[in-house]
């Protein structure tokens, strides 16, 4: 499947007039070559590829990679392999520091360095291997969430629940969490990015769990909000409202629909009830090898973007009442030809 990814990015290079693409980010090196290294330089040309790796990885990579491999001994090594520099060298500006950009400019003084987002756009559409990996990650995540929820007891601290979750995902085969588990008791749930702390669980507490893990290099993300015993009736109303919004929004998603239409509908739900102050974050984000990927569902980022088959998104509507509590429901979905497929067994629990 890696060869198909290189083929697709090469097609994009041709369309944009890029002679060569420089890939150094470890996540992208895994995406294109299936290798896990902290350093490497992959150059994708119009008709070939070459990988530069240092002595730490060279011998191991020589046994597994399918592209020409060169031992890296500083950037001068790279220059030696470019007797004719590319006219236009593509660099992903979102993953290249300014200092590194200047180094590459110095290394290729006769080339035009082009900030391109080809890899970002390519990774927005998941291939079948990625869908399988994402499903495995979601399966582990959901099982761990279910197990932890079943072990909640009065007196447990938020950090106890987070630690329990992290132990369980590793027992189930995850390499770790895809982000710090967010455990929110009571009014802490009113803060979308609450830092898990020392609050203890009591009867009648609203509980919000936002958790995710990494399995086979792919992330998962899940949020559930529920009562530990009977909760404030006003929060029950908020829950019903978010649940209804969630179902409406997922029904709207299908190939060809502008993301902005769905984002505007979400924001309009708050405006219609004149509760805009309870809308504290964007509707969602892409998920893949990173837990936050393109497309972002912030209004400023979605203009001109439409849903496409193969996109994987975390859709997470939420409604928050300051100092009282908040409700968020988050599922990961795959955009299919007919709408969406949920990676989890149910939309709510």
Fold of 2-123: Creatine Amidinohydrolase; Chain A, domain 1 (3.40.350)
Q: What is the pLDDT of residue 74?
A: 85
Q: What is the pLDDT of residue 84?
A: 86
Cα 222 to Cα 214: distance, rounded to the nearest angstrom: 12
**Residue ranges per domain, the chain?**
2-123, 128-342
Q: What is the pLDDT of residue 163?
A: 98
Q: What is the pLDDT of residue 1?
A: 61
Partners of residue 335 on adjacent β-strands: 340
Q: What is the pLDDT of residue 79?
A: 83
Q: Which two tokens stand for residue 148?
A: 């932890």
Q: What is the pLDDT of residue 75?
A: 83
If you write DSSP's letter for every residue of 101-158 in order, what string do you get?
HHHHHHHSTTSEEEE--HHHHHHHB--HHHHHHHHHHHHHHHHHHHHHHTT--TT-BH
CATH 3.40.50.1820 assigned to 128-342: no
Where the chain has pLDDT below 50, the residues are: none
Cα 153 to Cα 228: distance, rounded to the nearest angstrom: 9
Residue with tokens 């709510």: 348
Q: Do the two domains 2-123 and 128-342 of this chain adopt the same fold?
A: no
Whole-prediction pTM value? 0.94
Sign of CA dihedral 342, 344, 346, 349: negative
């Amino acid at each position: 499947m890696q060869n198909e990814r290189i083929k697709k990015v090469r097609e994009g290079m041709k369309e944009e007039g890029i002679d060569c693409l420089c890939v150094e980010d470890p996540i992208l090196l895994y995406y294109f070559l299936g290798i896990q290294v902290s350093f490497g330089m992959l150059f994708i040309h119009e008709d070939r590829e070459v990988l530069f790796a240092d002595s730490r990885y060279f011998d191991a990579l020589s046994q597994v990679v399918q592209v020409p491999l060169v031992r890296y001994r500083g950037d001068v090594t790279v220059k030696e392999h470019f007797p004719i520099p590319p006219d236009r060298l593509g660099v992903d500006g979102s993953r290249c520091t300014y200092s590194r950009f200047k180094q590459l400019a110095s290394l290729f003084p006769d080339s035009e360095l082009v900030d391109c987002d080809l890899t970002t756009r390519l990774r927005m559409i998941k291939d079948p291997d990625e869908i399988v990996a994402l499903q495995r990650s979601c399966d582990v995540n959901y099982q761990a969430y279910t197990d932890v929820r079943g072990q909640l007891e009065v007196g447990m601290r938020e950090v106890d629940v987070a630690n329990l979750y992290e132990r369980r995902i590793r027992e189930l085969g995850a390499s770790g969490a895809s982000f710090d588990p967010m455990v929110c008791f009571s009014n802490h749930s009113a803060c979308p990015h609450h830092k898990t702390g020392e609050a203890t669980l009591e009867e009648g507490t609203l509980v919000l769990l936002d958790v995710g893990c990494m399995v086979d290099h792919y992330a998962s993300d899940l949020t559930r909000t529920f009562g530990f015993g009977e909760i404030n009736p006003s929060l029950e109303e908020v829950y019903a409202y978010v649940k209804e919004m969630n179902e409406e929004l997922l029904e709207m998603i299908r190939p060809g629909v502008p993301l902005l239409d769905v984002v505007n509908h979400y924001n309009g739900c708050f405006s219609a009830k004149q509760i805009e102050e309870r809308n504290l974050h964007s509707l969602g984000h892409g998920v893949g090898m990173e837990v936050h990927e393109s497309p972002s569902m912030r209004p400023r980022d979605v203009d001109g973007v439409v849903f496409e088959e193969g996109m994987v998104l975390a859709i997470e509507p939420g409604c928050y009442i300051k100092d009282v509590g908040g409700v968020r429901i988050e599922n990961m979905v795959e955009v299919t030809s007919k709408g969406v497929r949920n990676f989890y067994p149910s939309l709510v629990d």
